[in-house]
Amino acid sequence: MTKKLPPIHPGEILKEEFLEPFGMSQQQLAENLNVSIQQINQIIQGKQAITAEMALRLGRYFGLSAKFWLNLQSHYDLDVAEEALSKRLAQEIKPYVAICDPVITRSAIISYQ
């Protein structure tokens, strides 16, 4: 059985793929984005999420889409939630397809296509 890698927070990507290669400090980034060093530090440490506003700031600064940053955050959030909740949800929620009449389900899928 393969072991799943832990989710990667967007702050880690910000640090390793942007700050370090460009030789930029957290202080420099904070000043250039007009935000506090604490906010950047919290993101880098994985203690704060990238908000829509921060995504817009990072996107504009690095010449990337804000969606890039929000997608990183969204994927991280879903991975963390899945790790924490998947077993419980599997016990609590029976998939819709499993409770449907197979004939009805099959005809609904065919007519939808």
* 24 alpha carbon, distance to own chain's centre: 23
Q: Which of 67, 64, 35 is nearest to 52 (CA)?
A: 67
From first to last of its 113 residues, the chain has per-residue pLDDT tens of: 567 889 999 999 999 999 999 999 999 999 999 999 999 999 999 999 999 999 999 999 999 999 999 999 999 999 999 989 988 888 888 888 756 666 665 555 555 55
- Residues, the chain: 113
Q: Which of 72, 49, 75 is nearest to 62 (CA)?
A: 72
**pTM of model > 0.85:** no
Q: Which fold has domain 10-83?
A: 434 Repressor (Amino-terminal Domain) (1.10.260)
Say which residues have a Cβ less than 8 Å from residue 15's Cβ, sequence separation at least 6. 44
**76 vs 10: CA distance, rounded Å:** 7
